Amino acid sequence: MTDALQPGQTIGILGGGQLGRMLAMAAARLGLKVHIFEPAANPPAGEVAHKTTTAPYEDETALTSFADSVDVVTYEFENVPAAALDLIEARVPIRPNRISLATSQDRLTEKTFLRDIGLETAPFATVITEAELAQALASVGMPSILKTRRLGYDGKGQARINDRHGAPAALAAMNAADAILEGFVAFDREISVIAARGLDDTIACFEPGENVHTDGILDTTTVPADISTATRERAFGIAGTILTALDYIGVIGVEMFVSGDKIIINEFAPRVHNSGHWTEAGAVIDQFEQHIRAVAGWPLVDPVRHSDVIMTNLIGDDIEQVHAIAAETGARLHLYGKAEARPGRKMGHVTRVLGPATDR
C-alpha cells in the first residue's frame, strides 16, 4: 500500500460530465478530494467536487497548476489531446495509462490490438480513399458500416453501407476523416463486462450485463445477461486478457457480441461505463468506487451482486417521468443535475431491482 493515496489526498479528473460526477462522489465517500478539469462551464461534476478548473485542454498554465494540485489523474472522457496528457504525465501519474487510452481512441488501433492478443472482432479494414473503400467492401462484405477512426460515440460518425451505390455518400459523411469499415456481426445479444485491475494486478469483474441500444444510444442494461455459464466465464477471461495486455489500472467497460458459443469484441472504453451504472443498486460496490480504489492504489472489492436489476437511461424528455419514477417501488433514480434536456442528452438513469440475485 506504499503507493496508495491517503485520505485527504486529491484525484484529478479530466472531464466533468455525469461519469466525473459519480466518480467524484465515490471519491468523497473514501475521504479523497477531487479536482475536475473541464473546458465547459458549470460541469455536472463540479457540483460535488472539491475544486473545478474551467479551461480548454490547450491551456498549458491551467493544465500545469491542475497537475500540480493533484496526486493522480484519471479521466471520464477519452478525447483529451495528446499534448495535454504529455504535460500532465510529466508531473503526475495518469491511470489508466496512456497506451490504454490511445488504443481505445482509434478504432483501427483498437481492433488491431484486440486481434493481436487473440480475440475475435468484426471483420475490418482501413479506409481513407474511395479506392480503399472499394477494396474494403470486397474483403469485409456488405452490409457493413463505415466509422470514423476517432471521436465517434453514441452512434455519431457512422454510416451504414447496404450496397455499392451507398458507398460514396458514406465516405462523404466521414468528412475526410480517416475511417474504418466494419462488417456487420450477426449476434444474439450484446453484453458488457465492467472489470477493474488494481495496482497490485488484482482483477475483479462485475456480472456481465445485457445491453439494448435505441438509435445508437444505450437504452437498457439487464443483469444478469441471458448467457450460458461457459460464455460468462469466457467473457470474464476476455476482460482479464485485455486488462493484463494493457497493464491497465482502473475500471474498463468491454462491449461484446454473443453469437451462439462465440464472443466477438465490439469495443472497450478505458473508463467507467454507462452499462455499469446498475452496480450502484445491484452490487456491494459500484463501478465508480471500484475505479477510484484502483487509481488511488487501494485494494479492489470483490464485486458481489446482491440483486437482479435493469438499468434504463433517461434521455432528453425522459426527465419528465422523474416524479413518476420516484414513486415506483424498487426503482433507484440517479439524475445528473443537467439544466437543459436536449434530445439525445443523457439526463439520468434508473435502476429497477427485479429481485434478489439469481444464482449463476
- 12 and 35 in contact (C-beta within 8 Å)? yes
Answer yes or no: is 213 a known binding residue.
yes
Answer yes or no: is 328 a known binding residue.
no
In the complex, the smallest distance separating the C-beta of residue 325 from its own copies, rounded to whole angstroms, is: 10
Cell numbers that stand for 216 in this block: 445508437
- 309 and 223 in contact (C-beta within 8 Å)? yes
What DSSP character marks residue 305? B
Q: Which is nearer to its own copies, 30 or 177 (CB)?
A: 30
In the complex, the smallest distance separating the C-beta of residue 292 from its own copies, rounded to whole angstroms, is: 11
Give the orientation angle of helix 287-295 with respect to helix 18-29, to 10 degrees.
70
Please name every residue paired with 299 in a beta bridge, in sequence order, or none if there are none: none
Give the orientation angle of helix 82-89 with respect to helix 98-105, to 10 degrees.
170
Q: Which is nearer to its own copies, 41 or 339 (CB)?
A: 339
Q: Which is nearer to its own copies, 183 or 276 (CB)?
A: 276
Answer yes or no: is 182 a known binding residue.
yes
In the complex, the smallest distance separating the C-beta of residue 28 from its own copies, rounded to whole angstroms, is: 5
Answer yes or no: is 37 a known binding residue.
no
DSSP 118-139: T--B--EEEESSHHHHHHHHHH
In the complex, the smallest distance separating the C-beta of residue 19 from its own copies, rounded to whole angstroms, is: 14
Answer yes or no: is 286 a known binding residue.
no
Q: Which residue in 277, 96, 278, 93 sits closest to 197, CA to CA? A: 96
- 269 and 126 in contact (C-beta within 8 Å)? no
Q: Which is nearer to its own copies, 93 or 299 (CB)?
A: 299
Answer yes or no: is 190 a known binding residue.
yes
In the complex, the smallest distance separating the C-beta of residue 17 from its own copies, rounded to whole angstroms, is: 14
Q: Which is nearer to its own copies, 227 or 295 (CB)?
A: 295
Q: Rounded to an integer, what distance in angstroms lies between the CA atom of residue 205 and that of residue 208?
A: 8
Q: Which is nearer to its own copies, 47 or 132 (CB)?
A: 47
Answer yes or no: is 147 a known binding residue.
yes
Give the rounded distance of the alpha carbon of 259 from its chain centre: 22
In the complex, the smallest distance separating the C-beta of residue 191 from its own copies, rounded to whole angstroms, is: 24
| Binding stretches for its own copies (CB under 8 A) | 1, 4, 7-8, 21, 24-25, 28-33, 47-50, 281, 284-285, 293, 298-299, 301-302, 304, 306-307, 319, 322-323, 326-327, 329-330, 332-339, 348, 353, 356
Count CA atoms closer than 13 A to 172's CA, side-chain side.
5
Q: Which residues are annotated as a binding site?
A: 107, 147, 152-158, 182-185, 190, 213, 266-267
Annotated binding site for ATP: 107, 147, 152-158, 182-185, 190, 213, 266-267
